[in-house]
Structure 1
């Protein structure tokens, strides 16, 4: 992974343009998710994360107060460079810092092996979300102090 790539907690108000650009590119343009499904009221209360290459935002994710992780997205040119791992490790670390012992997400089926590598387990059958096959996954933090 390039030493230029790093992840930081984002500010929904200040970083909204970057967060929206990444999610619009990945979900709305590439995956044809309807905009009204992509944007919801939960963005305002979520903790957002940005992956950056230098100072250019290339990936995004969010963590909801109940431990749900979502909107994990990396721009196409940066896929395969462990950006998703860096994003997810930052999200998991923040969830644990907040005392969220269980993290949950709905994964696109093709991405489930990626999340399994990070300690998530599939806990549902396949279902369609925005026309894309998904499964629900859960990760339990170890009870050991970090």
Structure 2
């Protein structure tokens, strides 16, 4: 059993979108690590098999085969160990009802999926700033 975790888990069934995120991370200077899985079942298998170390953030595609982002989110919020894990939904859906449902189920954020490298870099910068930046001691 692996005891370390990446900074971010990306559950994304589109290889193109996953590659955009990986390229954008390479362009970043923060050293954030990412693990990509292809669907919600793989995401849950990974999260519940890595031991006590969890990623700092989970990015979930809304629509994936086998189990979509909202299904994963529901399972994460139902488990005590992952209940507080920050989860951001990535979506190409412009349906306000999808965003509302994501927040109702406990998503911490909802981001429109980038379509090109420049947008991916901006989204990665936003994610790093909002979710992965070290917080000053209180």
Give the shorter-chain TM-score range. 0.3 to 0.5
Higher RCO, Cα 8 Å, sep 6+: 2
- Larger fraction in helix: 2
- Larger fraction in strand: 1
Question: TM-score with structure 1 length normalisation?
Answer: 0.37
Question: TM-score with structure 2 length normalisation?
Answer: 0.38
